[in-house]
Structure 1
Amino acid sequence: MSQAVTPRPARHTTGLMRSIYLPRTADALAFAMSTYGIPLLVLATTRSAALTGLAFALEWLPRLAAFGWAGPVVERRGAARVFHLASLGRALALAAGAALLRLHPSGMVASATVMVLAATTGVLTEFSYIAAETAGAAAGRRAGARAHRVQAVLLGIDQTATLAGPALAGLLLLTGPPQMLAVITVLSLLAALLALRTPPSSDAPVRASKDGASAGLLTGWRTIRSLPALGWLVTGLTLSNLAIGFLQAAGPVIVVKHFGHSTTAVGLVWSAAAAATLLSVTLCRFAIDRLGLWPVGAACAAVASLACLAAAQAPDYLCYLVMVAVLMAAEGGMTVVLRTLRSRLIPPDRFASTLSATILILLLPFPIAGVLTAITSPDALGHVITICAALQALGLFCAFARLRTDPALRT
């Protein structure tokens, strides 16, 4: 009787909480803690800066490669099943790593253990991420006109995990590597159990091509090309990511050498950016209700471009911190627009492959930004940031000018 009189939006929100938001929260926190905690673990275990850098590469290179395989696997097996199995596999790998580090806290066995953990958790995390994103997009389609609210909540979950995960991993590492890995194991196991409540992302899993990753990425690329609104937005955000990636890669040099602050101040910049993004996502959720996708996205694009140009000319650390936070907050608003748009436009049977291709395109500027940082002298970093900001402004202006009359952003 009480269920019959419960308002429909309340039932909808409760269902999303159990089936989408809670699994995503556990997985996102495990994602953030492993991404930032494993390199810290390598440094604490091996005391080697070179191995720490290698571990970071071992985390990200397999992740980029995994995107090509994850999409077809999710389409063939279903998002809920892949989410469950990937989270469970990560829990088992972390539990084994924790046991080995307790038995061998130092030496060759410990070094080999943490390096294998870096690669293994990187691959499994990307499978769980693609599956969780696919399930979230399906929830957005079922939400209809409230799709942007679903995407805003999911993005808020990710940003909260990004804000809390590194700090929590660092604190737990003070108690010992096995304790930190044990907590991530529990979170991964919780995500695997909660994933059993996740509804199917489509009516039935599709039959994926036997060509695997190449066929999945080709399908995703063709889908992006067939959807001009999505293609223009991805192009603009890719150029924007070049500026953001360069700020991330050059941040330690700028903060430590140019402004004369400690390495802790570098982390404070991105913690402030994550907090600003959380606020931005919440505000954009209500702004889209009133104004629509295009006005909010265009306003965020303008703010992001101006903030990046201002960051290049920042006279002191505080101004630099504020401009980076404003930039990332505006980027968060555009990400809500992107997630909402792709959940509306991409066919369900091609969503995972298209998502994989989209993420690969959006991540390509980051290694380029790293190379730019390596070949640029510290005195010239501000000039390179200005050039990247100009490219960002041009790309975002062209994208949103092209999308101004597109019905996909006017619905």
Structure 2
Amino acid sequence: MTPGATAPPAEDLLRRIYLPRGADAAAFSMTTYGIPLLVLATTGSATLTGLAFALEWLPRIAAFTVAGTLVDRFGTARIFRAACLARALTVLAAAGALTVFGTRTLAATVTVMLLAASTGVLTEFSYVAAETAGGEASRKTGARAHRVQSTLIAIDQTATLAGPAVSGLLLEHGGPAVMLGTLASFSVLAATLGPRERTEPTRGAAAKRGLGTGWATLRSLPALAWLVGGLVISNGAIALLQAAVPVVVVTELNHSSADAGLIWSAAAVASLLAISASRLAIDRWGLWPVGAAAAAVAAGATLAVAHADTYRGYLVLIAILMAGEGGLTAVLRTVRSHLIPPDVFGSTLAVTILLLLLPYPAAGLLVAAVPPAQLGHAITAAAALQAVGLAVAFTRLRSLPAAPA
């Protein structure tokens, strides 16, 4: 904690950070998991579902070339509210179009593909703003930063718990308009709960340099750079699973879209439990031992899920995988909040998230190109790379100066 700084009271964190983050996380989860289900239900095509997944993530990556800079320049509150309101309007427009055009038509296909791209951009703008606000709150708590980050991850994972299942159920029983209307409602709620005061923007040259500043900052922090590098490789396997599960569950295992959503909801439960455990474990053993244990769990589970051939197997193993991922995320966010200088936090955060998202559009394109029956082989290869990447990263981290606990 900086000299003279005081930790924000719990009620202030709840009002300014946790409540807006909760509503935005719900919209984020419904967008991430619900839009591919919507595309599959609307088009009936596994190939288009994979392409929609790529379209959802490619613009998100492009958004990070400007999102961090805009947050640094204009402040978190303004960017957060603008992104949430724009997402609500976009989703409502798509709901109206699908009501008019119906499903399995060219117009409906164009609508859902454009929806995937546009919501991807807007969701990442709101996420960068919310994450920057969370990073600032973490810095003010000093050595207890991992507790704030654990709470934020718990909020995200709670949304992930409900978002996929709710999206699948609303889509199956209410149709596209009901699902999209609910997503828009969460977006409006997030904008309403967002802080009203203007946050002070960063006026220096660092904000103007944007991603260049973020990249230079990341390279100057070897502990953060190695951790991000390992997680980029790990995200390749997770992204492939996320893109493949709707296709595998619906077309190969003959289950419903609600069942596909339930897998990620079950995974969120496991992740929440892991986050609670990692919070206590970091207090006792420190960041790197906890991170290494979480990496071993994630890599082992991915290798196992590559050979699963039942719905129950997918559900259980992906839950174990995401438990390990929850521990890794707690470590990453804590390291970020400690090491990144405040005046370039938005730009550096954008670079780290940009790198972590690079595997997602590639995973969507891979699912679009590979026949559903062959996806298991692709998952096996991704799992092997994940295990090697995490092992190298955490072995290297042991030789670096320890990050603040």
Q: Specify the TM-score bucket, using the shorter chain as the normaliser.
A: 0.7 to 0.9
* In 2: Cα distance, 1:253 partner to 1:116 partner: 20
* In 1: Cα distance, 2:262 partner to 2:18 partner: 27
* In 2: Cα distance, 1:166 partner to 1:377 partner: 24
* In 2: Cα distance, 1:46 partner to 1:311 partner: 28
Query: Which residue in 2 is equivalent to 1:70?
Result: 67
* In 2: Cα distance, 1:280 partner to 1:70 partner: 30
Paired letter, 1:159: Q
Paired letter, 2:155: I
Paired letter, 1:182: G
* In 1: Cα distance, 2:386 partner to 2:113 partner: 36
The correspondence of residues 159-178 of structure 1 with structure 2, limited to 5 A, is 159-173=157-171, 174-178=173-177
* In 1: Cα distance, 2:125 partner to 2:43 partner: 28
For the 8 Å contact 1:292–1:409, the answer to whether it is kept is: no
Match of 1:88 among 82, 85, 89: 85
* In 1: Cα distance, 2:288 partner to 2:205 partner: 34
Match of 1:23 among 20, 23, 26: 20
* In 2: Cα distance, 1:390 partner to 1:52 partner: 25
Q: Which has the larger radius of gyration?
A: 1
* In 2: Cα distance, 1:91 partner to 1:149 partner: 31
For the 8 Å contact 2:81–2:194, the answer to whether it is kept is: yes
* In 1: Cα distance, 2:291 partner to 2:268 partner: 19
Match of 1:130 among 117, 125, 128: 128
* In 1: Cα distance, 2:251 partner to 2:95 partner: 37
What do the CA deviations read for 1:37-62 (whole angstroms, capped 9, x no partner)? 34444565666776655544443222
Shift of 1:191: 0.9
For the 8 Å contact 2:165–2:261, the answer to whether it is kept is: no
For the 8 Å contact 1:312–1:386, the answer to whether it is kept is: yes
Query: Which residue in 2 is equivalent to 1:147?
Result: 145
What do the CA deviations read for 1:332-381 (whole angstroms, capped 9, x no partner)? 10111001101111112211221221122112223444555566677765
Match of 1:216 among 210, 213, 238: 210
- The change in CA–CA distance for 1:402 and 1:44 in structure 2 (over 3 A counts) is closer
Shift of 1:251: 4.2
Shift of 1:266: 4.4
Paired letter, 2:58: L
For the 8 Å contact 2:165–2:262, the answer to whether it is kept is: no
TM-score between the two structures when normalised by the length of structure 1: 0.83
What do the CA deviations read for 1:239-258 (whole angstroms, capped 9, x no partner)? 21222233334446766788
For the 8 Å contact 1:303–1:327, the answer to whether it is kept is: yes
Paired letter, 2:87: R
For the 8 Å contact 2:51–2:365, the answer to whether it is kept is: no
* In 1: Cα distance, 2:142 partner to 2:272 partner: 23
Paired letter, 1:138: E
Paired letter, 2:388: L
Query: Which residue in 2 is equivalent to 1:309?
Result: 303
* In 2: Cα distance, 1:354 partner to 1:278 partner: 27
* In 2: Cα distance, 1:143 partner to 1:317 partner: 43
For the 8 Å contact 1:233–1:399, the answer to whether it is kept is: yes
For the 8 Å contact 2:92–2:181, the answer to whether it is kept is: yes
* In 1: Cα distance, 2:177 partner to 2:371 partner: 40
For the 8 Å contact 1:232–1:402, the answer to whether it is kept is: yes
The correspondence of residues 255-270 of structure 1 with structure 2, limited to 5 A, is 260=253, 262=255, 266-270=260-264
Shift of 1:125: 1.3
Query: Which residue in 1 is equivalent to 2:3?
Result: none
Query: Which residue in 2 is equivalent to 1:14?
Result: 11
What do the CA deviations read for 1:158-182 (whole angstroms, capped 9, x no partner)? 1221221232233334335444333
Pair 1:206-2:203 in alignment: yes
* In 2: Cα distance, 1:375 partner to 1:50 partner: 7
Query: Which residue in 1 is equivalent to 2:284?
Result: 290
Q: Give SS of 2:210's match.
A: helix
For the 8 Å contact 2:85–2:191, the answer to whether it is kept is: yes
Match of 1:33 among 30, 34, 40: 30
TM-score between the two structures when normalised by the length of structure 2: 0.84
Range with greater deviation from structure 2 (88-97 or 339-348)? 88-97
* In 2: Cα distance, 1:387 partner to 1:40 partner: 25
Question: Cα RMSD between the aligned structures?
Answer: 3.3
Give the total of aligned pairs.
396
Percent identical: 60
For the 8 Å contact 1:19–1:198, the answer to whether it is kept is: no
Query: Which residue in 2 is equivalent to 1:194?
Result: 193
For the 8 Å contact 1:403–1:409, the answer to whether it is kept is: no
- The change in CA–CA distance for 1:68 and 1:110 in structure 2 (over 3 A counts) is same
* In 1: Cα distance, 2:362 partner to 2:123 partner: 23
What do the CA deviations read for 1:114-171 (whole angstroms, capped 9, x no partner)? 5544333222111101111111111111111211111111111112212212322333
- The change in CA–CA distance for 1:255 and 1:99 in structure 2 (over 3 A counts) is closer
- The change in CA–CA distance for 1:112 and 1:256 in structure 2 (over 3 A counts) is closer
Shift of 1:25: 0.6
Shift of 1:221: 1.6
For the 8 Å contact 1:45–1:105, the answer to whether it is kept is: no
